[in-house]
Amino acid sequence: MANEINKEGRSLLEIIAETGKIPEAMNIRMNGHSCERRVSPNIDIKNKENKPGIDVIVKPNTIGEVVSIPVVITAGNINDKVYNTIDIGAGSDVTVSAGCGIHNDSDDCSRHDGIHDFIIRENAKVKYIENHYGEGNGSGDNVLNPETRIELMENAIAELDMTQIEGVDSTIRFTKIILHDNAKIVVTERLMTSGNQRADSTIEVIIDGENASAQIISRSVAKGNSVQNFFMSLTGNAKCKGHIQCDSIIMDNAKVASTPKIYAANTDAELIHEATIGRIASDQLTKLMTIGITEEEAEDIIIKGFLD
Amino acid sequence: MNLLEMKNVGVDIKDDVNNNKEILKDVSLEFEAGKIYVITGPNGGGKSTLAKCIMGIMPQNTGKIYLDGEDISDLSIVERSKKGIGYAFQTPAKFKGLKVGNLLKLAKGDSENSIEQTLRNVGLNPEEYLNRSIDNSFSGGELKRIELASILIQDLKLALFDEPEAGIDLWSFKLLIKTFKRLNRFTDTCIVIISHQERIMEMANEIVVIDKGEVAQKTVKNKLLSILNSNDLDNCELTCCERGELCGE
């Protein structure tokens, strides 16, 4: 039976599911159950039959529509694992908004594992926005472990914008991308951790198609005693271009590791991996102080700009 | 009345073996509103330290600095900025993510200067630049212009420019000269430029030579330019002189 979205859930949705446009189709999941669903003539959403989760089917040549499938958790002691399949029809141009927000005032852990399988068919174009956020006054951890697997067919284009800025105590992120001929993807991941939070992110890109390209931009800020681990892997099996850029700002007593792997199995594969870890540059702070900004404000401005 | 007065200012730093090294020694200088000063001298002589000392980036160990008669010696960089001192860096900072428009908005503060017009004044098209982040995608010349804009947008009493001509092309250099002239003509800002360039010295009301951490000369431009042209700088005595008069000869 459908349950009502409570006040905390509404507030979380404003943070994680804002796309600037009312979605044509949506499915809101709260505390382990679907609680609101809308479909459009071009976008259908169905429950999976054998496991929790949904199938989102976008008809071929659907243009300009938004489908939003956020998850909110507003209590402690919830362990929600969900399998979603998103099938983007050939020639479509759509936005998919997902992500999860947790409001946990209890002393028990709440956890959401969102497993997303995308197939982006020939000539389709997708913008995928994923926001992860946690809040609450209890001592229970907020845990989010997303797995996103994306296959881009010939000439498909995807732009992924994945953000986790606040309040997630532990996350293990896994993203795998396979590109076929002429497919193109740009992934931007933004991550900030503080306190004793921990974040692991693996992004694995396999370029199988001729003239396909992938650009992965990962930006993170690690504060307090938090720990971040990045594993970035790029494989070129054809004439292709791939670029991973992984930059981290480290502060306080935080620890950041970045492990690159680039593997080419074709002489025409051009693969680049760049990784930097460093504190906020003192020349940046000094510049902002010379225009009247305090050091603390300057740090915030630099971090906000870096993650923007 | 002097806008800024440095009285017996000294700056020390620790060297590699932790010994004190004097970078500025007993510097006394006066700067007036509405005038252009060029600070020149050999590399490593203490020119940048002098400008950084005025901004508070390298605070003085001895002596006093007064702005409009108020002792600002113990004020922080931020407090000096709020009192109307600005500093254009020789090598401008790059910011991954911070946009040109945001930096200029922060620098502008309560000033009524227009961000768009200020960008145009330094030869940059606002539509093209406002939303670009100040990162490696910019050339050295573009970074210098943005740095310049971040100074021009403020209503400053004293604007310090550390080798503004370094790393810019000829076209930008002409624009730079024009920019200083405009700033001097339309505002009462005291302009202090660290430079080796004769074209910049030609704009100056007064030229200060800093060598080995001391004021070697302070003079009107024509006399110093003639000394520079005769390569007789080494013979200058280390004497600070009264404004408008060449001493140590």
d(CA B61, CA B12): 6
User: What domains appear along chain B, each with residue ranges and CATH number?
Assistant: 32-206 (3.40.50.300)
Q: What percent of chain B has pLDDT over 70?
A: 88
pLDDT band at B230 (very low <50, low <70, confident <90, very high): low
Average pLDDT, integer, range B81-102: 95
Domain boundaries, chain A: 7-281
Question: Does the pLDDT value for residue B49 go beyond 90?
Answer: yes
Q: Say whether residue A308 is in contact with chain B using an 8 A CB cutoff.
A: yes
Question: Does the pLDDT value for residue B236 go beyond 60?
Answer: no
* Model confidence pLDDT, tens digit, residues A6-41: 888 888 888 888 767 789 999 999 998 888 899 999
Of the candidates A58, A173, A203, A189, the residue with the CA atom closest to the CA atom of residue A126: A58
Average pLDDT, integer, range A234-252: 96
CB contact under 8 Å between B81 and A288, yes or no, is no
pLDDT band at B228 (very low <50, low <70, confident <90, very high): low
Give the B window 125-144 contacts with A, CB below 8 Å. 133
Task: Give the DSSP letter of residue A279.
Answer: P
Question: Does the pLDDT value for residue A85 go beyond 70?
Answer: yes
CB contact under 8 Å between A289 and B86, yes or no, is no
H or E element that contains B216? strand B214-220
Average pLDDT, integer, range A122-132: 96
Question: Does the pLDDT value for residue B244 go beyond 60?
Answer: no
* Model confidence pLDDT, tens digit, residues B112-143: 999 999 999 898 999 999 999 999 899 888 99
**A211 near A239, Cβ under 8 Å?**
yes
Chain B residue with Cα closest to A294: B78
In this predicted structure, which of A58-62, B3-7, B174-178 has the lowest mean pLDDT?
B174-178
* Model confidence pLDDT, tens digit, residues A195-211: 999 999 999 999 999 99
Shortest CA gap A91–chain B (Å): 31
pLDDT value of residue B238? 32
Q: Which amino acid is at B228?
A: L
State both tokens at B37: 């000063």
pLDDT value of residue A90? 98
pLDDT value of residue A116? 96
State both tokens at B51: 């400008």
d(CA B92, CA B94): 7
State both tokens at A288: 């902002």
Question: Does the pLDDT value for residue B242 go beyond 50?
Answer: no
Shortest CA gap A38–chain B (Å): 36
Shortest CA gap A298–chain B (Å): 10
Q: Which amino acid is at B70?
A: E
pLDDT band at B246 (very low <50, low <70, confident <90, very high): very low
Question: Does the pLDDT value for residue B235 go beyond 50?
Answer: no
**A102 near A132, Cβ under 8 Å?**
no
pLDDT value of residue A48? 94
d(CA B226, CA A236): 65
